Structure 1
Amino acid sequence: MGTSHILTLEPQYLKIVLSTGFEHYEKGEVFRDVFRSLFGTGVFNSDGEMWKFHRSITRPFFTRDRISDFEIFDRHADLVIFKLKERFSQGFAVNVQDLLSRYTMDTATEFLFGQDVKSLSGELPYPSTYKGCTPPHVHPSDKFTSAFNRAQEYSYPHGFFAKAWRLVEFWEDKVAIQREITNEFIDPLIHTALRKKRDAKEVYEVDKDDGTLLDHLVQQTDDFDVIRDEALNILLAGRDTTAALTTFVVTMLAEHPDFLARLRKDVLDTLGPNGKVNPENLREMKYLRAVLNETLRLYPSVPWNVRCSKNSVVWPALDGGKQIYIPGRTQIHYLPWLMHRRKDLWGPDAEEFDPDRFLDERVKKYLVPNPFIFLPFNAGPRICLGQQFAYNEMSTIIARLVQAFKEISLDMNSNPEAKPPAAWALGPGRRAVEKVWVKSDITAYANGGVWVKMQEADME
């Protein structure tokens, strides 16, 4: 479609693109056009001075004190545990992808906007094979979350058509329609924040512990569209990526009961059966962090990303090869999903799930000398601002789950559509052993969900 593309899985080149040669690369005009309906001019879809502006107004919000407030995570985790026990008591499996997406949606909207959409208050879906239930009651939050999900789903195919995507959606922009629905929730909150600022008749001070993202944004600008775009960008990052990771963590624990037992011991030795996660004890649970990192390695939440060369550049030769000439305005695609599984970068067991690789000698052998082989949060000046926020949120919910439940098992018969194609079992790599059907739009997800049953831990 009139654009040039190159794909690389080489960490040496990604170091140049994302870090040491950062000034020569950007998201680019094609990317910005393709995702404008979804991201607007937010931080994920801007370059140059606009990107610097968005980065500068968002960074102060992610202070150590602010992201270390575990109360929001824990309060919503209480409802997750309640929902699980309630459904298991009825004898049904639970789609943890759906449940954890609700959890991250509620924590993210409360953290960012000061008001959550209360999606956890809605009824969980029953297995598709269960014919004895009435359709679940439509909760008010479903309108927002469904539109939020569809906006991303409709955006992804735009990338295949580049600037010609409008010819495919000539009569209507499907993403823009969904954005109108999500705006119904976000817009009143922005109006309230701006009115609060106007009523103060001056830039009001926001307490770093109590102020929301909106409070911080309106201190920097009165531009309604800029505030809304940035808020939605951060919401997408704060909800979908963490939901994807925690879903795959539960999947891996279900498939590896020995790792689950070890993780439970790590958590119970530190927290006991009822203790809460805080910044101090979180540092002690090294195996929990290793489980999260290993899941991020095999199942990075953003499997694919792209940059664009601003001008012609030459990449250095590698391993006796030749230099590579990259013309200006070339789309540079990179796939952490594939790079994280390269055996020459991670060792002969690269396709196996083994959290110990982040604890034993393999760290010094592979990761320490070449940190760009691990890019779950990107790298360089555009590294994810919410990285520690994500670790805190994910650690809280996973710790709470293993405190409450001692066994996890997959029950993929609850939804036959969730099973991978039979041909996968005959293929190479991890496809041959996958129990869930992994797909991706902007973020990774399990087609049809991940259905599990859990056995409650003994009261201690």
Structure 2
Amino acid sequence: MTIVTPGVDFLATGFFFLSLPVFTASILGKLHKILGGTPIPTWILGLAGVASVPIIATLRIIGIRMKHKREAAAMGAKMIPSPRGKWPGNADLLKSMLHNFLHGYPADDLVELLEEHGPAVNLRIFWSDLIFTASPEHIKITLATDFDNYVKGSRFQRAMSDVLGVGVFNSDGDLWKFHRSITRPAFTRDRISDFELFDRHAEIAIQQLKSRLREGHPVDFQDLMSRFTLDSATEFLFGHCVHNLKANLPYPHNAAYVPNTVQTPETRLSNEFSNAFLEAQFAISQRERYGWVWPLYELFGDKTKEHMKVVNAFIEPIVADAIAKKDNATHQGKEKDPNSEDGTLLDHLVQVTSDPKILKDETLNIMLAGRDTTAATLTFTVYLLSQHPDVMKRLRQEILDKVGPTRRPTFDDIREMRYLRAVINETLRLYPAVPIDIRETVNATTWPNPDPNDKPFHLPAGTKVAYSVFVMHRRKDLWGPDAEEFDPDRFLDERLKKYLISNSFIFLPFNAGPRICLGQQFAYNEMSFMLVRLLQNFSSISLELDSFSPGMLPPEEFKLAPGRKGIDKVWPKMTLTMYVNGGLWVKMQEANNA
């Protein structure tokens, strides 16, 4: 079987432009014979052939641009402003964005572009429209009020398909509705309130934490939370815990002594999965940044292939086991009702389909949501608590007053702890798990212009739209002059009514509209439970900067920047989801609950 890389496939689909020079030279050669006269020299035919590519491409670009302008005028709208780069196709802007993705702070360049051009900007990377916005009015239209006109789109789906397949996060229309319907039963009230499941894994995580701290070493809390949420997600969703928490925790790079440990095949596969899944996410997030030319970036090989071999080796046995159990139950006449809310998500899925690909894709999509996003939020919460001991003290006191030092919290306990929810919300505001998302217009449409005396903005059909809740959550005009400060009280005091209640679309950590996250309450419960257990056991948290590997902390020049970029002691980064560069190395003081 021949494997075609994305780059080769891209070149094949662009065969017209590849063959255009030969075609042009051939036509000119035949034309002179028909008209008679002196034969055209070969070098002129060759030059004309080569020149035909940029000429035809330029004429096509101009033609499309003129069509869009006429369309905008007919709709009483105006074109969204575009930056004018120094290089053709804004290639210098793309280069800067790719550099900042690797070496900058999240949304570098994008914030500056909005400040310069207004509430929306057309990046026009390689002459292809890419609209970027952080406006709640535009995001509300995209996600809710005009939902049907904004889809993931075939270009996004192609770029993501090697990792997300046809799962719920990478599908549209009836297929998306199908995935949504078969996923919903996993998130009933009873199931998301199964705190016994959380408690089992939280207990192992805290014991691992205590054991390593008692050795005198700091702990990579991001790694620990990734393990905790992976074990919780696999058991909750699939009834199959991978016991990633039982694997040995990493030691800091400067540890004086690292004992030799032997990993079991199961824990080794779990660790390899975590790393491979992060690398695969990085690869497909790069595809989005390269725009429509991303296949050329992978001309000599699919950059997700090797990582997905590891991911599939982890997922496929779980899926195969579920199919086998379902087939066995069918053979014994013990089939489950497909509409039943009992059992795990995978138990339900196999009643609907036995297609291994659909099951694997949906499994991977939900695991991404159930693991990476929650682990990221818990990580950033602990980081912020380490930097704000007053918040840590107040939160811990609420927990002790409501639950006590040892009792397991209940659903009602967590619902009544308003400061705990405020701390989580404030973390999600500053570091939303999914900082940037993509849609594509189906039909030409318009967006409102904040200037009532100006025309609305025009969006052509088939236009990619990128919106950033990360940028929106930090806008001072939406959240007040202290928007970049960590202050949970903004979700409790008069600022709540002044800003959020009057415009709920300024806070979207779990998306909105028909695609709002089904697991939102599950995530709040899991994060709240873990934080309660953590602060019952530990009274203080300190960030151990010396334990970060070289190059993992923010560059010195970040300190000169305004806002959180100049404040943050750690380096936030993102693929599809946010994470802390190099992990989060902390020490904690065990509480004296005697």
Q: TM-score range, shorter-chain basis?
A: over 0.9
SS of equivalent to 1:174: coil
1:386-430: CA deviations, max 9, x gaps?
A: 000100110011111111000111111111433211111111111
For residues 97 and 135 of structure 1, what CA distance do their matches in structure 2 show? 22
**Aligned position for 2:541:** 408
**Aligned position for 2:228:** 103
Q: Tell me whether 1:448 sits opposite 2:578 in the alignment.
A: no
Give the residue type in structure 2 aligned to 1:216.
H
**Aligned position for 2:418:** 286
Contact 2:436–2:467, Cα closer than 8 Å, also in 1: yes
Q: Tell me whether 1:153 sits opposite 2:282 in the alignment.
A: yes
**Aligned position for 1:458:** 592
Structure 1: gaps of 5 or more residues? none
1:25-67: CA deviations, max 9, x gaps?
A: 1011111011010100001101111111100110121111111
1:272-318: CA deviations, max 9, x gaps?
A: 00111221111111110000000000010111111111110011232
Larger Rg: 2
Contact 1:254–1:409, Cα closer than 8 Å, also in 2: yes
For residues 229 and 327 of structure 1, what CA distance do their matches in structure 2 show? 31
**Aligned position for 2:303:** 174
Contact 2:185–2:341, Cα closer than 8 Å, also in 1: no
Contact 2:185–2:345, Cα closer than 8 Å, also in 1: no
Q: Tell me whether 1:437 sits opposite 2:571 in the alignment.
A: yes
Give the residue type in structure 2 aligned to 1:394.
M
Q: Report which structure shows greater RCO (CA 8 Å, sep ≥6).
A: 1
Cα 1:164/1:256, change in 2 over 3 Å: same
Contact 1:27–1:306, Cα closer than 8 Å, also in 2: yes
Structure 2: gaps of 5 or more residues? 1-125
Contact 2:399–2:536, Cα closer than 8 Å, also in 1: yes
**Aligned position for 2:79:** none
RMSD: 1.6
Cα 1:331/1:209, change in 2 over 3 Å: closer
Matches within 5 A, 1:74-85: 74-85=199-210
Contact 1:109–1:115, Cα closer than 8 Å, also in 2: yes
**Structure 1 residue 210: deviation in Å?**
5.5
Give the residue type in structure 1 aligned to 2:592.
D
1:338-367: CA deviations, max 9, x gaps?
A: 110001100111111000000111111110
SS of equivalent to 1:407: strand
SS of equivalent to 1:188: helix
Contact 1:97–1:244, Cα closer than 8 Å, also in 2: yes
1:60-93: CA deviations, max 9, x gaps?
A: 2111111110111111110111111111111111
Cα 1:58/1:232, change in 2 over 3 Å: same
SS of equivalent to 2:458: strand
**Aligned position for 2:527:** 394
For residues 2 and 229 of structure 1, what CA distance do their matches in structure 2 show? 33
Identity %: 52
Which of 320, 324, 345 is the aligned partner of 1:191? 320
**Aligned position for 2:243:** 118
Which of 379, 387, 393 is the aligned partner of 1:261? 393
Contact 2:421–2:528, Cα closer than 8 Å, also in 1: yes
Matches within 5 A, 1:293-332: 293-320=425-452, 321-332=454-465
**Aligned position for 2:5:** none
Give the residue type in structure 2 aligned to 1:68.
S
SS of equivalent to 1:82: helix
SS of equivalent to 1:35: helix
Contact 1:96–1:450, Cα closer than 8 Å, also in 2: yes
**Aligned position for 2:360:** 228
For residues 25 and 422 of structure 1, what CA distance do their matches in structure 2 show? 41
For residues 418 and 235 of structure 2, what CA distance do their matches in structure 1 show? 28
SS of equivalent to 2:304: helix
For residues 392 and 383 of structure 1, what CA distance do their matches in structure 2 show? 17
Contact 1:34–1:163, Cα closer than 8 Å, also in 2: no
**Structure 1 residue 186: deviation in Å?**
2.0
Give the residue type in structure 2 aligned to 1:421.
P
Q: Tell me whether 1:18 sits opposite 2:150 in the alignment.
A: no
**Aligned position for 2:471:** 338
Cα 1:2/1:193, change in 2 over 3 Å: farther
Contact 2:134–2:471, Cα closer than 8 Å, also in 1: yes
Give the residue type in structure 2 aligned to 1:81.
I
**Aligned position for 1:423:** 557
1:237-279: CA deviations, max 9, x gaps?
A: 1000001000000001000000000000111111100111221
Q: Tell me whether 1:239 sits opposite 2:368 in the alignment.
A: no
Q: Tell me whether 1:39 sits opposite 2:164 in the alignment.
A: yes
For residues 200 and 91 of structure 1, what CA distance do their matches in structure 2 show? 51
Give the residue type in structure 2 aligned to 1:154.
A
Moved more, 412-421 or 200-209: 200-209
SS of equivalent to 1:418: coil
For residues 486 and 402 of structure 2, what CA distance do their matches in structure 1 show? 24
Give the residue type in structure 1 aligned to 2:236.
F
**Aligned position for 1:355:** 488
- TM-score of the superposition, structure 2-length normalised? 0.75
